[in-house]
């Protein structure tokens, strides 16, 4: 089987973009050239590696296996390039991060400080819901992953780096917001506005409420913290969000934290990657940066 490294990169681009034209553009070749090289890959493998259904590209079983293999090879090669640059006294490379949406409230600060220290490192950031991050983790598409509820079924290198307290919020105009402390029973008649099923915050909240044998009356399930806050501010009910969504404040933009027994719900942020994965020098540098930054801020 003979496939060139450039053809491997082209196929990986096809797997990640789902488009021959987009893959060709990313490698700066013409679409006919890309199509010819992809055909050569299938011929070399001896099986079709993708198929066109309607107007969409779908990888075959062989293609999916090839994508996993090529991704591992490309990441290993990029890590080698970074190590060689380090031996030459250079500090450059690529860093790929995937984080859950709630992490957007603190990740830009951490990333900004890192980029100032390492301006020659190209950084890619994906902000997704938990299911999206878990899928990228399963596919091994990034260097590091930030989430509050890592998947229990995967063998991961997992390090906790920061608290993620989960709080109950109400509209600042709602009389219940000024009451307290309250119990969950006091909220039995309230309408709850929660994150969507599958989000890390929702999973932590559901686990806690099951332990407390409390079944909330759910009015809305929403896909972002901003939507939850806006709905609560509009008087549609009370919400449960990460305290990071309020930028560390007691109240913000029409909502305030309620005093409810059992809250803030303890939760933490995890930095994970597949257990057998060797991190690139750039990823190792980012991990050191995050833990040093958090430690420094904790000390005041």
Tens digits of per-residue pLDDT, 196-236?
Answer: 998 999 999 999 999 999 999 999 999 999 999 999 999 99
Where does the pLDDT of residue 300 fall: very low under 50, low under 70, confident under 90, or very high at 90 and above? low
* Architecture in CATH for domain 1-89: Orthogonal Bundle (1.10)
Contact indicator for 40, 2 with CB cutoff of 8 Å = no
Interval 283-291 mean pLDDT: 92
CA distance 138 to 200: 17
Which residues of the chain does CATH 1.10.10.10 include? Answer: 1-89
Q: Is the pLDDT of residue 158 over 80?
A: yes
> Phi first, then psi: what are they for 287, rounded to 5°?
-60, -45
Q: What pLDDT is recorded for position 120?
A: 86
Q: Is 117 exposed, middle or buried (0-12, 13-18, 19+ CB in 10 A)?
A: exposed
Split at pLDDT 50, 70, 90, the class of 101 is very high
CA atoms of 60 and 64, how far apart (whole Å): 6
Residue 113 has pLDDT above 60, yes or no: yes
**What mean pLDDT do residues 257-280 have?**
93
| Longest CA pairwise span in the chain (Å) | 71
What is the pLDDT at residue 56? 82
Residue 53, pLDDT above cutoff 90 = no
CB neighbourhood size of 51 (10 A): 11
> What pTM value is reported for the model?
0.77
CATH 3.40.190.10 for domain 166-257, yes or no, is yes
Question: What is the pLDDT averaged over residues 160-179?
Answer: 92
Predicted local confidence at residue 52, as pLDDT: 83
Q: Decide if domain 91-163+268-298 falls under CATH 1.10.10.10.
A: no
- pLDDT for 276 equals 87
Which whole number is the average pLDDT over 60-77?
90
- The pLDDT of 104-118, averaged and rounded, is 92
Q: Where in the chain is the domain with CATH 3.40.190.10?
A: 91-163+268-298, 166-257
Confidence of residue 87 (pLDDT cuts 50, 70, 90): low
With a cut of 70, say whether residue 13 has pLDDT above it: yes
pLDDT band at 253 (very low <50, low <70, confident <90, very high): confident
- The predicted pLDDT at position 100 comes to 96
Query: 251 or 272: whose pLDDT is higher?
Result: 272
- Give yes or no for a contact between 8 and 73, defined as CB atoms under 8 angstroms apart: yes
What pLDDT was estimated at residue 89?
61
Residue 88: pLDDT band (50, 70, 90) is low
Q: Is the pLDDT of residue 78 over 90?
A: no
**HSE (CB half, 13 Å, CA atoms) of 28?**
0
Average pLDDT, the chain: 91
Lowest-confidence region among 2-6, 59-63, 168-172:
2-6
Instruction: Check whether 177 has a pLDDT greater than 80.
Output: yes
């Amino acid at each position: 089987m003979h496939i060139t490294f450039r053809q491997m990169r082209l196929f990986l681009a096809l797997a990640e973009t789902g488009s021959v034209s987009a893959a060709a553009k990313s490698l700066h070749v013409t679409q006919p050239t890309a199509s010819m090289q992809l055909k050569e890959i299938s011929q070399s493998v001896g099986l079709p590696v993708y198929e066109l259904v309607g107007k969409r590209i779908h990888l075959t079983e062989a293609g999916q296996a090839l994508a996993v293999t090529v991704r591992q090879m490309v990441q290993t090669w990029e890590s080698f390039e970074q190590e060689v640059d380090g031996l030459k006294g250079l500090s450059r490379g690529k860093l790929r991060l995937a984080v859950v949406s709630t992490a957007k409230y603190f990740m830009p600060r951490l990333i900004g400080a890192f980029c100032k220290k390492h301006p020659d490192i190209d950084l890619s950031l994906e902000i997704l819901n938990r299911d999206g991050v878990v899928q990228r983790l399963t596919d091994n598409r990034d260097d590091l992953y930030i989430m509050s509820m890592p998947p229990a079924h995967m063998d991961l290198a997992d390090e906790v780096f920061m608290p993620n307290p989960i709080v109950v919020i109400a509209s600042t105009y709602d009389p219940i917001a000024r009451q307290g402390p309250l119990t969950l029973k006091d909220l039995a008649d309230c309408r709850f506005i929660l994150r969507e099923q599958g989000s890390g915050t929702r999973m932590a909240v559901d686990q806690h409420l099951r332990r407390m044998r409390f079944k909330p009356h759910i009015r809305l399930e929403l896909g972002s913290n901003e939507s939850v806050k806006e709905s609560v501010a509009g008087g549609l009910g009370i919400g449960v969000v990460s305290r990071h969504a309020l930028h560390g404040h007691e109240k913000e933009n029409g909502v305030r934290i309620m005093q409810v027994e059992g809250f803030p719900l303890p939760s933490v942020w995890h930095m994970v990657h597949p257990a057998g994965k060797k991190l690139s020098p750039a990823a190792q540098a980012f991990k050191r940066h995050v833990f040093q930054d958090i430690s420094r801020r904790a000390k005041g």
